[in-house]
Amino acid sequence: MSLRSYCRYLGVQFKNVSKFSCNWSDARCNFYKALNGILAGLGQNPCINVALALFRAFCIPVLCYGKSYMSLSVSNTRSLCFAYNNIFSRLFKSRNSEIVDQCQFYCGFFPFQSLYDYNRYSFLVNLYNKGSINAVSLFCKLDYVDLCNLAIKYNFNISDSKRCLQFKIWKYLESSLI
């Protein structure tokens, strides 16, 4: 029987395995605690605008904390996306992913993947501008590849402002809904 051990640093749990990875179960658990606390406090039929404003202020930071510094695995992304979509499924009473995507878009929320991409790109471009990552170093090659892939996906430029990045993501999402 193999025992997994974890090391906690600055609120992030690192797994003790042969390949670097993190355990995001505490983040999901704390996210659900915050979300359930909000929804319980608002009652049976909460005002959607109030619920989503509280969700944006209290739940999203809990779920996104510490995620932008590394690439997430597909299973981690799927698990975090499921948690993130939970409030939209509850408020709009639909489990249909297309309806949830449209609800997020028209309520002014990025889907989790786009939110993660935005945070990851912002983190990486900051490192790039400081000279901490480049195409030559083997240590930061994966980060540089992520930076380039996100720039291609959303048509980002290194000199884009945060507002411009958000605008480009909205344009990308708008074209994917049509």
Write down the pLDDT at residue 69: 81
pLDDT grade, residue 178 (50/70/90)?
low
135 within 8 A of 158, measured Cβ to Cβ: no
| Predicted pLDDT of residue 2 | 47
Give the pLDDT score at 65.
Answer: 84
| CB-side neighbour CA atoms (13 Å) of 25 | 4
Q: pLDDT (tens digit, 9 = 90+) per residue, 57-83?
A: 999 999 998 888 888 889 889 999 999
Q: What is the pLDDT of residues 102-139, one digit of tens each?
A: 999 999 999 999 999 999 999 999 999 999 888 888 88
| 15 pLDDT higher than 80 | no
* Structure token pair of residue 76: 């981690």
Using the predicted structure, report yes or no on whether residue 53 has a pLDDT greater than 90: yes
Orientation angle between helical segments 112-129 and 74-92, nearest 10 degrees:
130
Would you say how long the chain is, in residues? 178
Confidence grade of residue 140 (pLDDT, cut at 50, 70, 90): confident
In tens, the pLDDT along 19-41 reads 555 666 778 888 999 999 999 99
Distance CA 22, CA 87 (A): 24
CA distance between the termini of the chain: 50
Whether residue 174 is predicted with pLDDT greater than 70 in this model: the reply is: yes
pLDDT of residue 21: 57
Return the closest-CA partner of residue 8 out of 80, 73, 65, 84. Answer: 65
The pLDDT of residue 1 is 39
Confidence grade of residue 6 (pLDDT, cut at 50, 70, 90): low
Q: What mean pLDDT, rounded, does the chain reach? A: 87
